[in-house]
């Protein structure tokens, strides 16, 4: 089953008189339940791609469908509702509300779900905080938490609505390497436990190995697709010219070439 | 806050102006016979109150009344031995008049005193025309009601200057008794009533009309006697309206600016809300509600501030230069009314809410991705 389908997506920004092409004819489908990394250097279009998948940005052309909804013709309010129920976001800068406690931050997305009463919400919030191992920090404000703890609160917030899809744009970029690995391991655990699809972007090759799917992006085009089975990456190289060239590489080779 | 204080200041200007008018000349209420206020200037002897002493006593028993005094108008010729000048005179009771106060400024000599049985103060123009100075002797001549000529010899004790050059060119003030001798009467033209409290004027004027001190009496309040007061109030209020608009615009602009800054500093926060599934309209409502609350708090603080400033000024006063046409400098106070405070509060509140709408709308329509990018 596929959860995201992108067909010939192009995204252009106007910069003064120039048009910057951030995404150039991207076609991609993502299976449900994967833990997918979008890798590429800074400025390659990772954020743009994630934003379009997350329905917080619109493509210049192409078709997108997310969790069975064709996104193209939808109104802003329909998209907001889709985001509220189907998509969770984790940001590079955490984006927690500084005046709210960890628990209140996690509870925030639930306030829009009228079917949940206060008790339900409390229960879910506690469940999520425990899932990210912050059960004891419910009453803490973001500024009383470390970067890693903040990002775990953000993950709990992204998961509390039980979304099918969690998007994380460089979730480890503001964390030291060890903490970043911990965050990815946590997301990976949750991905396995709850079968939630995770898509994260990174420009750090070292964290790619926690993923089971890989999309390599450069200059707004997909250059490489990878599937990992039993610790081995099966890599498909896509050149702009010529047909796709399947190739099989070992993990170490991939690292040195990507 | 500034709105409430400014309005309070204006209220005070009106009150002060009213007091100035009352105490410069007219008193609170004047009683005379029908027709005197219209035609008395030409033939004062035709409109005489016959028993001023008795009438004064009766009016003085009313508790709100502070003072009653009689005035007797006349017109005649003033002679310095060489030349005549036609003058408009008034016989007054010097002690009571001094208690009432006057807008006349003495430029030479002194005021009339009750001991001056045959003293006179003359206008600056009169003194100039006839070459008079304090100590000089003059004769006032006039024809009495029965046709005979009557005259009184007087000594100049002072020269005055008023607001009006015309009055200074013709005006003479002499003791009531001297004027009565001149007109060969024991009557008076008008009784001037001074009250303890200006606010009681309307009530007392009704009361006096009902009591009917004499048959064909005409009762006038100081507002009726000084029609320029209402005109001035109107003019000031109009000017204040302009000031209000200016303050309002300034308030609005600064609030728009402040709200703009705070809202745009938090664009990425609003972007986060929307990524988490809030609708545009939710964000819009949030921003407006937040600013409504801020406006309310700010307005309340302003009201407290206005009350404090009002109190401080009320205690100390602001010394003001004399207004045009007047010689008296005065101390301005601020009368902050509840009405003005409520108005200022409403203005503050509305301004913030209105000011919030534009940036709120702009934030809510900006692309979410664009809004989030601002945090990086
Ligand atoms: N709002 C924008 N206006 C103009 N250019 C933009 C905008 N957003 C992104 N870009 C450009 O699009 C390209 C891809 O950006 P982005 O998706 O943020 O890359 P990444 O996340 O991989 O660093 C870059 O060249 C960037 O400069
Ligand atoms: Mg990026």
- Note the pLDDT tens digit of each residue in A216-251: 999 999 999 999 988 888 888 886 544 444 444 444
Give the ligand with the smallest distance to the CA of B369: 1
pLDDT digits 0-9 by tens, A99-135: 999 999 999 999 988 888 999 999 999 999 999 999 9
CA distance to A151, A165, A226, B66, B282, per residue, from A171 (Å) = 8, 15, 21, 86, 27
Of B272, B280, B370, the CB nearest to A76: B280
Atom of ligand 1 nearest to the CA of B369: 1
Side-chain-facing half-sphere of A91: CA atoms under 13 Å: 23
The mean of the pLDDT values for chain B is: 82
Q: Which of A12, A19, A48, A215 to mutate to test the pocket of ligand 1 (most atoms within 8 A of CB)?
A: A48
Residue written as token pair 């009432």: B100
A82: Cβ contacts below 8 Å, ≥ 6 apart: A55, A66, A67, A69, A71, A74
Task: Tell me the backbone φ, ψ of residue B194, rounded to 5 degrees.
Answer: -110, 130
Q: What is the pLDDT of residue A110?
A: 94
Of B281, B369, B375, the CB nearest to A56: B369
A15 lines ligand 1 (CB under 6 A): yes
For residue B291, the distance in angstroms to the closest alpha carbon of chain A comes to: 17
Contact A89 B268 (CB under 8 A): no
pLDDT digits 0-9 by tens, B109-155: 898 888 888 999 999 999 999 999 899 999 999 876 667 788 899 99
Of B275, B370, B372, the CB nearest to A83: B275
Mean pLDDT lowest among A54-68, A165-179, B115-129, B347-361? B347-361
B20, B14 contact by CB (below 8 A) = no
Angle at B125 between CA B121 and CA B130, to 5 degrees: 80
For B370, nearest residue in chain A (alpha carbons): A57
A51 lines ligand 1 (CB under 6 A): no
Q: What is the pLDDT of residue B331?
A: 65
The mean of the pLDDT values for chain A is: 89
- What's this model's pTM, rounded to 2 decimal places? 0.66
pLDDT digits 0-9 by tens, B230-267: 887 888 788 778 877 887 788 778 878 887 888 888 88
Q: Residue B70, SS3?
A: strand
Contact A77 B268 (CB under 8 A): no
Contact B272 A84 (CB under 8 A): no
Q: Which of A9, A13, A58 to mutate to test the pocket of ligand 1 (most atoms within 8 A of CB)?
A: A13
Task: Mutation target for B interface from A48, A49, A54, A56: give the one with most B CBs within 10 A.
Answer: A56
Q: What is the pLDDT of residue B329?
A: 55
Q: What is the pLDDT of residue A201?
A: 95
Local confidence band at A254 (pLDDT 50, 70, 90 cut-offs): very low
ipTM > 0.90?
no
């Amino acid at each position: 089953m596929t959860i995201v389908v992108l067909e010939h997506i192009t995204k252009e920004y106007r910069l003064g008189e120039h048009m910057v092409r951030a995404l150039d004819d991207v076609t991609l489908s993502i299976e449900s339940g994967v833990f997918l990394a979008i890798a590429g250097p800074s400025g390659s279009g990772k954020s743009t791609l994630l934003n379009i998948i997350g329905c917080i940005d619109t493509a210049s052309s192409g078709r997108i469908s997310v969790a069975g909804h064709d996104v193209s013709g939808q109104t802003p309010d329909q998209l907001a509702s889709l985001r509220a129920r189907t998509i969770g976001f984790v940001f590079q800068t955490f984006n927690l509300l500084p005046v709210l406690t960890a628990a209140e931050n996690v509870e925030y997305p639930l306030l829009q779900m009228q079917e949940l009463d206060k008790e339900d919400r409390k229960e879910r919030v506690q469940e999520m905080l425990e899932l990210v191992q912050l059960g004891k920090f419910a009453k803490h404000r973001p500024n009383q938490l470390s970067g890693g703890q903040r990002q775990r609160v953000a993950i709990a917030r992204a998961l509390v609505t039980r979304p099918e899809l969690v998007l994380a744009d460089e979730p480890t970029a503001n964390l030291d390497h060890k903490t970043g690995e911990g965050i990815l391991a946590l997301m990976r655990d949750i991905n396995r436990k709850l079968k939630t699809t995770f898509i994260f972007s990174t420009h750090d090759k070292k964290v790619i190995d926690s993923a089971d799917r890989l999309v390599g992006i450069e200059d707004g085009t997909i250059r490489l697709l990878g599937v990992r089975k039993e610790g081995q990456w099966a890599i498909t190289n896509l050149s702009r010219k010529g047909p796709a060239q399947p190739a099989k590489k070992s993990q170490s080779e991939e690292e040195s070439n990507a | 806050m500034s709105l409430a204080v400014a309005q309070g200041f204006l209220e005070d200007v009106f009150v002060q102006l009213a007091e100035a008018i009352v105490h410069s000349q007219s008193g609170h209420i004047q009683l005379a016979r029908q027709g005197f206020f219209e035609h008395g200037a030409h033939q004062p002897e035709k409109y005489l109150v016959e028993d001023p002493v008795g009438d004064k006593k009766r009016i003085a028993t009313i508790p709100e009344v502070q003072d009653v005094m009689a005035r007797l108008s006349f017109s005649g010729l003033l002679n310095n031995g060489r030349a005549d000048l036609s003058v408009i005179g008034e016989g007054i009771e010097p002690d009571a008049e001094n208690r009432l106060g006057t807008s006349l400024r003495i430029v030479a000599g002194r005021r009339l005193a009750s001991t001056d049985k045959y003293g006179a103060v003359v206008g600056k123009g009169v003194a100039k025309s006839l070459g008079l100075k304090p100590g000089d002797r003059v004769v006032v001549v006039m024809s009495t009601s029965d046709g005979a000529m009557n005259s009184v010899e007087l000594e100049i004790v002072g020269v005055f200057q008023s607001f009006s050059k015309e009055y200074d060119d013709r005006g003479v003030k002499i003791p009531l008794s001297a004027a009565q001798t001149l007109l060969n009467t024991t009557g008076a033209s008008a009784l001037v009533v001074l009250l303890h409290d200006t606010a009681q004027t309307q009530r007392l004027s009704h009361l006096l009309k009902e009591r009917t001190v004499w048959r064909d009496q005409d009762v006038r309040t100081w507002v009726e006697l000084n029609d320029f007061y209402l005109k001035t109030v109107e003019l000031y209020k109009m000017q204040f309206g302009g000031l209000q608009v200016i303050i309002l615009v300034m308030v609005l602009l600064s609030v728009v600016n402040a709200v703009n800054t705070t809202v745009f500093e938090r664009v990425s926060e609003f972007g986060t809300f929307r990524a988490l599934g809030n609708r545009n309209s939710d964000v819009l409502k949030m921003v407006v509600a937040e600013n409504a609350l801020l406006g309310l708090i700010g307005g309340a603080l302003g009201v407290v501030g206005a009350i404090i400033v009002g109190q401080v000024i009320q205690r100390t006063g602001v010394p003001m230069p004399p207004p045009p046409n007047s010689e008296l400098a005065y101390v301005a106070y601020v009368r902050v009314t509840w009405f003005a405070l409520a108005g200022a509060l409403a203005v503050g509140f509305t301004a913030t809410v209105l000011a919030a709408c534009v940036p709120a709308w702009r934030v809510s329509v900006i692309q979410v991705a664009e809004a989030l990018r601002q945090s990086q």
